[in-house]
Amino acid sequence: MASSGLQLLGFFLSLVGLAATVAATLMVEWKKQSQGKTHRIYEGLWMSCSGNERTTCELHQSLLKLPTEVQATRAVMLLSILLSAVALLVSTVGMKCTHFMDEKPDGKSTTAMTGGILFIIAGLLTVVITSWYVSKIVSTFQVSHRLESFEFGKAVFVSWAGGLLTIAGGAFLGCRRCSRAGSSESLSVNHLLPSSSSSSNPNSNYV
C-alpha cells in the first residue's frame, strides 16, 4: 500500500510538472524590458507584447529571424512536453492502481520505472534549457546598456518549477524498490498459503 501511495504521489507531481511546463511554454513573459515608468515589452517563445495599460501582442512571423536561444528553447520545451506525454501513458499502464498487465507483475513494475525515467529526462531537459536561456539573457544584460536590455520574466520561474516537479515525480515512479514491493509481497503470501490440491483433497495422503 505504501509503495502504491508513492506511485500516486509521483504521478501527481509529474502531472503538475507537465502542466507547469506547458503553461511556461505558452507564456509570453520569458523576458521583459521596461521603457519609462509605464511602458513594458515582453518577449515569449511564440509572441511578443508591448504597451502601457493596454498591451498588444503579435506572433513571431519568421522562425529564422528569431534569436538562437528562442529557437532552441522552443524546440527543447516541445520535446520535453512530448516525452512527458509519453511517460504519462507508460506510467499509467505500469502503476499498481491500474489493472493493466496484472498477469505480468515484473513487466508492470518495469513499465512503471520506464515511465519514471522518461519523466526525469523530460524534467532535466526543461531545467537545463531554461537555465541556458537565463544565462544568455544575463550575459547580454551585462555587456549591453542596461536600460535597453531585457531581464528574464515569470515564465522562467514557472518553467523551473515544472521541471523540478517532473523530476521529483519521475523519481518516485522510477523507484525500483517501490515498483517491486507489491510483487515480492504477493510471492511471499503465495508461499505461505497451502496449495489448493492438498487442501481440496485431505484424504489424499491415506492409503
Query: Which SS3 state, helix, strand or coil, does residue 104 take?
Result: coil
Domain 2-29+66-189 part of CATH 1.20.140.150: yes
- What average pLDDT does range 151-165 have in this prediction? 91
Residue 131, Cβ density class (10 Å: 0-12 exposed, 13-18 middle, ≥19 buried): middle
- What average pLDDT does range 66-77 have in this prediction? 89
Residue 19: its pLDDT value, please?
A: 96
**Is it the case that residue 202 has pLDDT exceeding 60?**
no
Residue 91: its pLDDT value, please?
A: 85
**Is it the case that residue 22 has pLDDT exceeding 90?**
yes
Domain boundaries, given as residue ranges, for the chain: 2-29+66-189
- What average pLDDT does range 26-42 have in this prediction? 79
Residue 52: its pLDDT value, please?
A: 72
Left, alpha or beta for 51 (phi > 0: left; psi -120 to 50: alpha)? left
Taking alpha carbons only, the member of 127, 169, 143 closest to residue 15 is: 169
Residue 140: its pLDDT value, please?
A: 75
Residue 199: its pLDDT value, please?
A: 45
Residue 207: its pLDDT value, please?
A: 40
Q: Are 192 and 162 in contact (CB under 8 A)?
A: no
Residue 120: its pLDDT value, please?
A: 94
Q: 80: pLDDT confidence band, cut at 50, 70 and 90?
A: very high
Q: 128: pLDDT confidence band, cut at 50, 70 and 90?
A: very high
What are the backbone dihedrals phi and psi of residue 130, each rounded to the nearest 5 degrees, phi first?
-70, -40
> What contacts 185, CB < 8 A, 6 or more positions away?
none
Q: Are 80 and 19 in contact (CB under 8 A)?
A: no
Residue 17: its pLDDT value, please?
A: 94
Helix axes 68-94, 2-26, angle to 10 degrees: 150
Left, alpha or beta for 101 (phi > 0: left; psi -120 to 50: alpha)? left
- What average pLDDT does range 67-95 have in this prediction? 89
Residue 153: its pLDDT value, please?
A: 84
C-alpha distances (whole Å) from 139 to each of 48, 94, 127 are 21, 44, 18
Query: Of 24-38, 68-82, 103-117, 158-172, which gets the smallest average pLDDT?
Result: 103-117
Beta strand 39-43 pairing with 31-35: antiparallel
**Is it the case that residue 53 has pLDDT exceeding 80?**
no
